[in-house]
Structure 1
Amino acid sequence: MTLKLSAVVPGAIKSQGDSCEIRQFRHTDFSTSVSPVVLVDHFVMTGPAFGPHSHAGISAATLLLDDSTGVLQNLEGAADSRDIRAGDLYWAQTGRGLVHAQRPVGEARLHGLQIFMDLPGDLKSQAPSTSLLRTAEIPVIQSPSGRIRVVSGQHGESESPLRTPAPLLILDGQLRPGATTLVPLRPGWNAWITAIHGDLGVRARHCRRGASPLPKVAGGDPDFAVVRTGWAVAATAQPDGEEGVLLLMAGCAPSHFVLIAGPAVDLPAAGQGMPAQLGLASLEQALAAYQAEEAQAQAEIQAELEREDAAA
């Protein structure tokens, strides 16, 4: 078998005060690997919720979906502020440590995903870097089946301008009722797929052509999953198998999905905000460098927030 689907997982619902609701998916929730994905927060935010906080040893991305209204301000210090708008992707390769804050500006309803991905060990102690990909820069594939934005990586003949430390595919797709689309999954890659709106069928094809179906087993078809709104499923492709294909299909209503896929990171993920195992000496070095910068960066962010609140 080349591809394996996990059990479908409902997001754990959390509230961040009165102004932010989150459906959270951790890598440990799934019965198959989702590496490089560590954690995904599917959020709706209407007021301040993400004050100054830190990340290290990971890539952290904020993808605002098209139905967002208003602006999400990202602060990394007194002199570094970026406005994230509907359809944009904010990317941070946090390396040895990054402190930032994100908050709505004025009247806003911000709907999106915060995606945390593990970094290979040799990148965990590097200086952090950030970028902002505007929605106008993201390639869009229009077809009779619907519309797919290629946020990261290459899909078909379309390639995103985003440069990531390792190959990474992020698709933000909308399918018309009854429509389907195919997404190849390379050997050694894992995929994470969520239904933003509308039910999504996911079928695993173990090779592009000529694959015989797996024998039926008690409890249902292991090659097929129905992902309800707000739920997610993972797919993993064996490193020594053929390239597989995921068939995504909408039901009788339109379906909006996000798919994240990439090669598994060899080192075990340690979770949001902390480096994975680097070896004791490298880990201590990364933490020392991070801690030396954190207090100053957090003080700068807090001072900027207080100045803006006083001026409002």
Structure 2
Amino acid sequence: MASPVIQGDFRESDPFIALMDDRLTKQTDQPAGGPHPHAGFETVSLLLEGEMGDDAHRMEGGDLQLMTAGSGIIHTETIEGKLSMRLLQLWLNLPKKNRWVSPRVQDLPLAKVPTLTQDGAEIKVYSGSLAGLTSPIQNYTPLLIADIRLQPGATTVQHIPASYTAFVYVLEGSIQVGDEAGEVHQDQVGWLNRDSTEPVSELRLAGGKTGGRLVLYAGEPQGDPIVSYGPFIGDTQDDIRRLYQEYRQGKMNHIATVPASQRILW
């Protein structure tokens, strides 16, 4: 079951196009999934549990993959065997100047994710910088992703760029957010305020009665309108028509065929 976490008016969520929470309990050995195209944006996949992918890009629980579809690519999300899986997949807008860059894929396994455990808080930084940690992931669109666990009553205060669009998605328990301690519960989203007059904003998080776990997403708005249709993002409707034509004519390659320099395993 794929549930939309965010979707709607892109002018408000820029640079985030969509976020899906895909939960699957697979009870047969029949493989699921298959090849499909993307172009004009990036997919950011955080696998919370389970396994997925092919031999070239297999993911396990706690791994992240950032795929820059750029000028157009075909990739395969394969799920084999009986398993339970939970995947957060973000569609991230590319800067207009980078929309048609050469496709690239970056894999960040859990063992390489920068992690800090302190005072009842565990922080894993998958992209960007937070809590003195910096992810190796390379970004066209400045992007912060952090998986944060808080014990009951534990507090962490962090700083993020004030101009970024930012939200928290609570995976477990509940989290108190901000000085007014607004509470965000499991499966809920809490949007953070943007401020163009200050360089950084203070983010105060506290674990609820049973503690909590959240994923923080924060990204720099690009300010350019987009056209979204099916698996493609473009600047105009002509872009969408062109991409469908290229896909039908077999002009998009599979991600497994990109040069080694564009396939990065951290």
Q: Which residue of 1 aligns with 2:53?
A: 73
How far apart in 1 are the matches of 2:162 and 2:253?
45
Q: Larger radius of gyration, structure 1 or 2?
A: 1
Q: CA, structure 1 residues 138+287, in 2 after alignment: closer, same or farther (shift >3 Å)?
A: farther
Q: Which residue of 1 aligns with 2:184?
A: 227
Alpha-carbon contact 1:50-1:103 (below 8 Å) kept: yes
Q: TM-score, normalised by structure 1?
A: 0.72
What amino acid is the match of 1:268? P
C-alpha deviation, 1:23, in angstroms: 2.1
Q: Which residue of 2 aligns with 1:210?
A: none
Task: Give deviations 1:153-203, integer Å, cap 9, x for gaps.
Answer: 111221111111132110011110111112312132111210001111211
Alpha-carbon contact 1:98-1:294 (below 8 Å) kept: no
Q: Which residue of 1 aligns with 2:35?
A: 52
Matched, 1:167 2:115: no
What amino acid is the match of 2:4? Q
What amino acid is the match of 1:37? F
Q: CA, structure 1 residues 300+251, in 2 after alignment: closer, same or farther (shift >3 Å)?
A: closer
How far apart in 1 are the matches of 2:202 and 2:21?
25
Q: Which residue of 1 aligns with 2:5?
A: 25
Matched, 1:124 2:99: yes
How far apart in 2 are the matches of 1:203 and 1:195?
15
What amino acid is the match of 2:192? A
C-alpha deviation, 1:90, in angstroms: 1.1
Q: CA, structure 1 residues 179+269, in 2 after alignment: closer, same or farther (shift >3 Å)?
A: farther
Q: CA, structure 1 residues 185+34, in 2 after alignment: closer, same or farther (shift >3 Å)?
A: farther
Q: Which residue of 2 aligns with 1:12?
A: none
Matched, 1:292 2:250: no
Matched, 1:34 2:13: yes
Q: CA, structure 1 residues 227+240, in 2 after alignment: closer, same or farther (shift >3 Å)?
A: same
Q: Which residue of 2 aligns with 1:108?
A: 83
Matched, 1:260 2:217: yes
How far apart in 2 are the matches of 1:300 and 1:100?
6
Q: TM-score, normalised by structure 2?
A: 0.83
Helix, strand or coil for the counterpart of 2:17?
strand
Q: 2:68 aligns with which of 54, 78, 93?
A: 93
Stretches of structure 1 lacking an aligned partner (at least 5 in a row): 1-20, 75-79, 205-222, 302-312
Q: CA, structure 1 residues 140+102, in 2 after alignment: closer, same or farther (shift >3 Å)?
A: same
Q: CA, structure 1 residues 295+200, in 2 after alignment: closer, same or farther (shift >3 Å)?
A: farther
How far apart in 2 are the matches of 1:295 and 1:173?
44
What amino acid is the match of 1:44? R
Q: CA, structure 1 residues 25+49, in 2 after alignment: closer, same or farther (shift >3 Å)?
A: farther
Alpha-carbon contact 1:58-1:273 (below 8 Å) kept: no
How far apart in 2 are the matches of 1:103 and 1:299?
17
Q: Which residue of 1 aligns with 2:261?
A: none
What amino acid is the match of 1:161? P
How far apart in 2 are the matches of 1:165 and 1:73?
24
Q: CA, structure 1 residues 184+33, in 2 after alignment: closer, same or farther (shift >3 Å)?
A: farther
Alpha-carbon contact 1:153-1:167 (below 8 Å) kept: yes
Q: CA, structure 1 residues 295+135, in 2 after alignment: closer, same or farther (shift >3 Å)?
A: farther
Alpha-carbon contact 2:63-2:109 (below 8 Å) kept: yes
How far apart in 1 are the matches of 2:87 and 2:146?
13
Alpha-carbon contact 2:168-2:189 (below 8 Å) kept: yes
Q: Which residue of 1 aligns with 2:263?
A: none
How far apart in 2 are the matches of 1:116 and 1:188?
20
What amino acid is the match of 1:265? Q
Q: CA, structure 1 residues 50+247, in 2 after alignment: closer, same or farther (shift >3 Å)?
A: farther
**How many residues are paired up?**
250
Helix, strand or coil for the counterpart of 2:232?
coil
Q: 2:110 aligns with which of 96, 117, 135?
A: 135
How far apart in 2 are the matches of 1:59 and 1:299?
16
Alpha-carbon contact 1:96-1:290 (below 8 Å) kept: no
Helix, strand or coil for the counterpart of 2:152?
coil
Higher alpha-carbon deviation: 247-256 or 47-56: 47-56
- Aligned residues: percent identity? 25
C-alpha deviation, 1:242, in angstroms: 4.5
Q: 2:235 aligns with which of 268, 273, 277?
A: 277
**What value does the CA root-mean-square deviation take over the aligned residues?**
2.7
